[in-house]
């Protein structure tokens, strides 16, 4: 059974071009499902196997997730992972039918992204300088680059030194499916990166062969988790710990670009969205801002 899951994960990465993070999420969801089914099989004295996965098993699994107070979005995601896996198993000839067929999952509306205001962004970006830490210029460069480019956290930590062109003020980024895109950055972000490369990175790097742009104290490539811890610390100092998530600066970048007059297609390209409908969710935020401004300013709307 574990070999089948591994084959599916390989399929996702090689054939579908899924990222390591997405594939890892699928793996965790499928192993949780398998553990549940194994326990159910043991209760009835059955030997664990895919043949035990029936529609009733999957309904029981979904009910178990709900009873354990998983968020609706999480339940839907886990059931979607199961459905994709069983479709793969049917296609491979290892199962005759998909046990998740005709199982209705709860409908989930798309949540609005967690953007913050321009003044809040400014407060967050100013925190590293205020902290006075030895890595302050590294952290300043990272936060400026996140907001300048709208990159995903994973994309940022995967950057190499050669991916940054400070003279032309461009960054080469590899997104989902290793799709390359070139993103312009504003001068202040370029200056912050230059200061980091000149003053801080030489003190962090341990091996001349290290290609990573952003390094931790051990001289290794900074991880997503490491960046999130850094971001959380500065958010707390700025009084924003309740509203900042790893993708807050990405969401704020998109919202502020659209509010400033950028066209939807350009923002789609900058964010690396395959489908423009993914980008369109940010227009709801700008529409809400316009509506609030209208209600505040129009004499008949008060």
Encode 21-82 in three state secondary structure: HHHHHHHHHHHHHHHHHHHHHHHCCCCCCHHHCCHHHHHHHHHHHHHCCCCHHHHHHHHHHH
Residues with a catalytic annotation lie at: 152, 176, 247, 250, 273, 282
* Residue 270: count of CB within 10 angstroms of its CB: 21
Q: Are residues 263 and 166 in the same domain?
A: yes
Phi, psi angles (nearest 5°) of residue 170 = -135, 150
Which alpha helices (DSSP H) does 46-169 contain, by range?
Answer: 55-67, 72-91, 118-131, 136-149, 153-157
Range of the domain at 8: 2-91
Question: Residue 97: CB partners within 8 Å, gap ≥ 6?
Answer: 90
Domain of 250, CATH number, reads 1.10.443.10
Q: Are residues 134 and 265 in the same domain?
A: yes
Which pTM value belongs to this model? 0.63
Q: What is the pLDDT along the chain (302 residues), one digit of tens a residue?
A: 678 899 999 988 877 878 788 889 999 999 999 888 888 777 777 776 777 788 888 888 888 888 888 888 888 899 999 999 999 989 988 888 898 888 877 666 666 667 899 999 999 999 998 888 889 999 999 999 999 999 999 899 999 999 999 999 999 998 877 788 999 999 999 999 999 999 999 999 999 899 999 999 999 999 988 999 999 999 999 999 778 887 889 999 998 998 888 888 888 889 988 888 778 777 766 666 656 665 666 566 55
Residue 288 C-alpha from the chain's centroid = 24
Q: Which of 64, 33, 29, 25 is nearest to 50 (CA)?
A: 33
Q: Does residue 300 lie within any of the structural domains?
A: no
Q: Are residues 179 and 237 in the same domain?
A: yes
Say how many domains are in the chain.
2
Q: Are residues 60 and 206 in the same domain?
A: no
């Amino acid at each position: 059974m574990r070999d089948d899951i591994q084959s599916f994960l390989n399929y996702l990465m090689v054939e579908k071009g899924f990222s390591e993070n997405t594939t890892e999420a699928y793996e965790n969801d499928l192993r949780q499902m398998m553990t549940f089914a194994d326990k159910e099989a043991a209760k009835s004295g059955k030997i664990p196997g895919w043949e035990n996965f029936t529609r009733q098993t999957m309904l029981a699994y979904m009910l178990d997730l709900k009873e354990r107070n998983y968020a609706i979005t999480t339940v839907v995601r886990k059931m979607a992972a199961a459905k994709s896996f069983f479709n793969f198993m049917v296609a491979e000839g290892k199962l005759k039918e998909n046990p998740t067929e005709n199982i209705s999952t709860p409908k989930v509306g798309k949540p609005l992204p967690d953007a913050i205001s321009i003044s809040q962004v400014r407060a967050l970006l100013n925190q590293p300088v205020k902290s006075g830490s030895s890595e302050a210029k590294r952290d300043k460069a990272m936060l400026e680059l996140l907001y300048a480019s709208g990159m995903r956290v994973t994309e940022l930590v995967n950057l190499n030194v050669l991916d940054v062109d400070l003279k032309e003020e461009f960054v080469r980024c590899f997104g989902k499916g290793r799709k390359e895109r070139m993103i312009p950055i504003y001068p202040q972000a370029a200056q912050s990166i230059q200061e980091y490369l000149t003053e801080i990175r030489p003190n962090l790097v341990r091996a001349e062969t290290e290609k990573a742009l952003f390094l931790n104290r051990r001289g290794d490539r900074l991880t997503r988790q490491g960046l999130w811890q850094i971001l959380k610390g500065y958010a707390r100092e700025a009084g924003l710990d309740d509203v900042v998530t790893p993708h807050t600066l990405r969401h704020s970048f998109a919202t502020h670009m659209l509010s400033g007059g950028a066209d939807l297609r350009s923002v789609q390209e900058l964010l690396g969205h395959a489908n423009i409908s993914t980008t369109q969710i940010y227009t709801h935020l700008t529409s809400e801002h316009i509506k609030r401004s209208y209600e505040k300013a129009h004499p008949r709307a008060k």
